[in-house]
Each structure stands twice: as C-alpha cells, then as structure tokens.
C-alpha cells in the first residue's frame, strides 16, 4: 500500500452538510480495546474532542447516535477495482467501488497493482494511481504485485518503498499458472527482497500446478461446469500452499501475510506453521466465506453458480463460515477483506463451456462489515471490540497506515461510522477529508 492518501471526491454522494464541524452525540464509542459512552466532536476532518458534556461552537451540525455504536471506519485490505483478468474487466471502477465501500462503513480500501508479466512495476503503479486519483470517494492505498522476477523487478521494488511511492507490501501468486504465478525460486527471491526492504510479503496460497493438472483431468472427463472450479482446487491444495509459503518466508527471514484464506485446512496449516516460525504470520479471510459456502457451485443455473466463482473457492464443508468467524475471534486470523472483484454476467459467460475460463471474483466491499456483524457479533462469536480489530484497526497497524487511523481518539482522522446494531449496518459515515456526513438510508 502507499502511505499517501489521495484527495477524496464526494461527487454523486448525497451530502447533507458541507459544514466542517460535526458532533456525534449519545453514542457508544467502540475501539479495539474498549467501549465507552462518549460524544465525538470533529472539526476539519480531525477528532478534536471525545467525552461527555463537551463545549463546542454554536451552529455545529449534530448527529444523534442514541442506541448506536460509533466505530472507526472500516479498512478493507483487499479490493480489485478496474482490474483486467482472464479476458474481462472488473465491473466496479474506483468511483463505484469506493462509493459502495463507504455505504457499507468502510472508509479506506487497499487495492492491488497487478503488473502483466514483463511489465514495469513502476509503470503499473502509475497506471493504477491514474485510475484511482480523482475518482475515489474514500482513502485508498496500494499493494503491488510481483508477478514475474528479474533483477529489474528487485530494483523497482527498492524504488517503490521509497518515500516518493510509500509502498510497503508486495503480493505474490502461487496460483494462476502461465499468468501471475511465481515458481518457488522466484517466490523465495521476492520474499528475501521484502525482508531486505522491510516490506510485508503477501501470498495467494494455492498450488497452481496441481490446479492446472486437475483442470485438464476434469475437462477430459467432461466436467465443464462451475462445479469443476472447486473440484480442481480442494482444501488440501490451499493448505499445501499455505505451508509451503510459510516455509519459504521462514527461510527468507520474512514475515508473511496470507490473503483470502478460505478453508479450515488452510487455517490449521497456518496455526501449525506459527509454532515454528521466526517472524509474524498474518492471515486474512473474506466476507464471502464468512457469508456462505460452496454449495452454490452445484446450482443448476450457470449464472448463479458462476457468480460464486472466486479463488480459492468457497468450500463445500457447511461448517466453514462459522469456523472462519471463530478463527477471526480467536486471533488465528487477523483480518477480513472483501477481495471485491466483480464481473458482469456476460463476462462470467466466458466460462460457459469451461469452468477454468470463468473470470474469478465476487462482490463484498459494501457488505463486508454487515456480513461479519450478522455472522459473528450477533451470534455471540465475537464482541464489538474484536469486530473493530478485524475490520479496521489491525489493518491500520499491519500496514502501518496513518497511525491515527482505526481508532476513535483525539487528533485521529475522523473516519467514523455510526453503526445501527438493530439494522446491522452503518447509517452514516464521516470522512476525514471533507468532514461531511451523508445519510445512506
Ligand atoms: N480472488 C479472486 O477470485 N479474484 C481476484 C484475484 C485474486 O485475488 O486472486
Ligand atoms: Zn484478490
């Protein structure tokens, strides 16, 4: 991600007030380490006072948050806006995607720059900045993908971590053979470079060679529908790659962040690796796997089944969603992202006769916080403080973003959501850049 925050554009959002002073009154403030009944006063996008009976200037716009929770805005560590992959382009651009994010209570997203094989990382980074700047409705940062390896890539990684770019995380793929996948040698080199640069390596952990061979075998047997997607890459294929990625990170002397962990087997592999690892192992899961399971791949309707195709896939084991909530609650996993990567129906049709050609990706940037609230907080698996940790403050800490983010405290950026526990969603959000609030109901 970059440390820079680009200016926000709020065009198109129903702005209720352009005042730069806002008081959120009578709410319960939730941080990752406690809950208190407090009022929050914001001026020019910065939290100026937190307490009761605050003395504030006249004419300040007030939100009555009685019965509501006042929480740090969500940070979604994993989105793909305007990404081109598998012959299609994601339906959400940076405007639509970040607008949806804010409507769901997320005030910062971290997207992925994914260079084509052979493409300059700097060129790809600049392209992504061009796509996003001026369009985003909330803060954003960028992780950069290392999709091929050479001394030139290493040099560009060194440049990208400089203050000019501020990147501090690089993502490598162990899947998508013949596209973004790195072999183990190159993955080792990339992780060593991350360790040298004090950047955080991230991996998509699935065994791309096994997936490729299983796909050939399934197609030869006449399995062409979306059910073939999960059959070609079961839990073991994910867990093996998690273990291998941890071993390589350990050898490279690097910490490791594993994106979109989708199965109980993968979480077990991560837990096992933690007992021997020299550096931190961080696990992210997705709203999709907390929200539902892989039974959709058996749906007779191609449109329905293909809409659920993402990698790693949703798992057929129906106990997976609850297990993922428990893993987040117990700190076996540390974050929940959306991996928002939406495709129009016509694009999913590219794989009508061959599941391996269905563009991979689902929605979730708007729904991430509500899904976790419903599945984990309302069920008693997780308390609101842990909810704040896994949806916001852990990302702020892990990616070292703006230390003042992810926390409701004096002098923090006023990225705030007012959360209605009865409606199970945000009813209002304040964005620090313009100190506006908007009603999304
Ligand atoms: N996850 C997925 O299926 N699509 C987005 C690209 C990726 O992260 O693998
Ligand atoms: Zn992704």
Among 196, 115, 116, smallest CA distance to 155 is for: 196
Among 24, 35, 26, smallest CA distance to 385 is for: 35
Token output for 195? 């360790």
- pLDDT at residue number 400: 86
Write out pLDDT tens, residues 386-410. 999 999 999 999 998 765 789 999 9
- What is the mean pLDDT of the segment spanning 418-430? 86
Q: Which of 146, 339, 356, 364 for mutating ligand 1's site (highest number of atoms within 8 Å of CB)?
A: 339
Ligand 1 pocket, residue 243 CB under 6 Å: no
Instruction: Classify the complex by whether its ipTM is higher than 0.90, answering yes or no.
Output: yes
- pLDDT at residue number 125: 98
The DSSP secondary structure of 416-436, one letter per residue, reads EEEEETTTTEEEEEEETTTTE
CA-to-CA dists, residue 410 to 45, 54, 73, 430, angstroms:
11, 13, 15, 15
Ligand 1 pocket, residue 147 CB under 6 Å: no
Write out pLDDT tens, residues 365-382. 999 999 999 999 999 999
Write out pLDDT tens, residues 238-271. 999 999 999 999 999 999 999 999 999 999 999 9
Q: Which of 360, 362, 365 for mutating ligand 1's site (highest number of atoms within 8 Å of CB)?
A: 360
Q: What percent of the chain has pLDDT over 90?
A: 85
- pLDDT at residue number 272: 98
Buried b (16+ CB within 10 A) or exposed e, 325-339: bbbbbeebbbbbbbb
Q: Whose CA is nearest to atom 1 of ligand 1?
A: 311
Ligand 1 pocket, residue 208 CB under 6 Å: no
- What is the mean pLDDT of the segment spanning 294-304? 98
Ligand 1 pocket, residue 437 CB under 6 Å: no
Write out pLDDT tens, residues 198-228. 999 999 999 999 999 999 999 999 999 999 9
Q: Which atom of ligand 1 is nearest to the CA of 360?
A: 3
Centre of ligand 2 to C-alpha 192, Å, is 22
What is the chain's mean pLDDT, rounded? 92
Write out pLDDT tens, residues 131-166. 999 899 889 999 999 999 999 999 999 999 999 999
Ligand with the closest atom to the CA of 204: 1
- pLDDT at residue number 17: 43
Q: Whose CA is nearest to atom 7 of ligand 1?
A: 311
Write out pLDDT tens, residues 15-47. 344 458 889 999 999 999 999 999 999 988 889
């Amino acid at each position: 991600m970059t440390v820079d925050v680009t200016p926000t554009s709020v065009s198109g959002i129903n702005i209720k007030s352009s005042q730069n002073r806002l008081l959120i009154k009578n709410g319960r403030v939730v941080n990752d380490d406690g809950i208190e009944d407090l009022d929050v006063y914001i001026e020019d996008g910065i939290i100026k006072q937190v307490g009761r009976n605050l003395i504030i200037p006249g004419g300040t716009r007030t939100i009555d948050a009685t019965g509501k929770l006042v929480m740090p805005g969500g940070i979604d560590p994993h989105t793909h806006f305007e990404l081109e992959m598998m012959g299609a382009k994601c339906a959400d651009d940076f405007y639509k995607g970040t607008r949806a994010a804010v409507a769901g209570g997320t005030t910062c997203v971290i997207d992925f720059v994914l260079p084509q094989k052979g493409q300059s990382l700097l060129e790809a980074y600049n392209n992504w900045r061009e796509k996003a700047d001026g369009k985003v409705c909330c803060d954003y940062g960028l992780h950069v993908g290392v999709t091929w390896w050479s001394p030139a890539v290493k040099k560009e990684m060194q440049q990208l971590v400089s203050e000019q770019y501020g990147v501090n995380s690089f993502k490598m793929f162990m899947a998508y053979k013949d596209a973004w996948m790195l072999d183990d040698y190159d993955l080792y080199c990339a992780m060593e470079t991350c360790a040298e640069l004090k950047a955080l390596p991230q991996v998509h952990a699935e065994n791309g060679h096994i997936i490729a061979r299983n796909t050939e075998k399934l197609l030869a047997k006449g399995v062409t529908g979306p059910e073939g997607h999960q059959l070609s890459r079961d839990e073991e294929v994910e867990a093996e790659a998690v273990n291998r990625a941890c071993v390589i990170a350990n050898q490279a002397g690097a910490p490791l962040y594993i994106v979109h962990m989708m199965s109980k087997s993968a979480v077990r592999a991560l837990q096992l690796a933690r007992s021997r690892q020299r550096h931190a192992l961080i696990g992210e899961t997705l709203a999709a796997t907390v929200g539902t399971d892989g039974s959709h791949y058996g749906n007779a309707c191609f449109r329905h089944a293909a809409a659920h195709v993402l990698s790693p896939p949703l798992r057929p084991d129906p106990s997976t969603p609850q297990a993922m909530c428990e893993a987040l609650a117990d700190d076996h996993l540390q974050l929940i992202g959306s991996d928002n990567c939406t495709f129009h129906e016509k694009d999913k049709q590219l794989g009508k006769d061959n599941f391996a050609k269905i563009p991979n990706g689902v929605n979730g940037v708007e729904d991430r916080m509500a899904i976790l609230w419903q599945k984990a907080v309302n069920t008693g698996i997780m308390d609101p403080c842990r909810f704040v940790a896994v949806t916001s403050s852990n990302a702020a800490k892990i990616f070292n973003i703006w230390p003042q983010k992810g926390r409701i405290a004096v002098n923090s950026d006023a990225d705030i959501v007012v959360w209605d526990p009865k409606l199970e969603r945000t009813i209002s959000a304040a964005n620090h850049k313009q100190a506006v609030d908007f009603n999304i109901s």
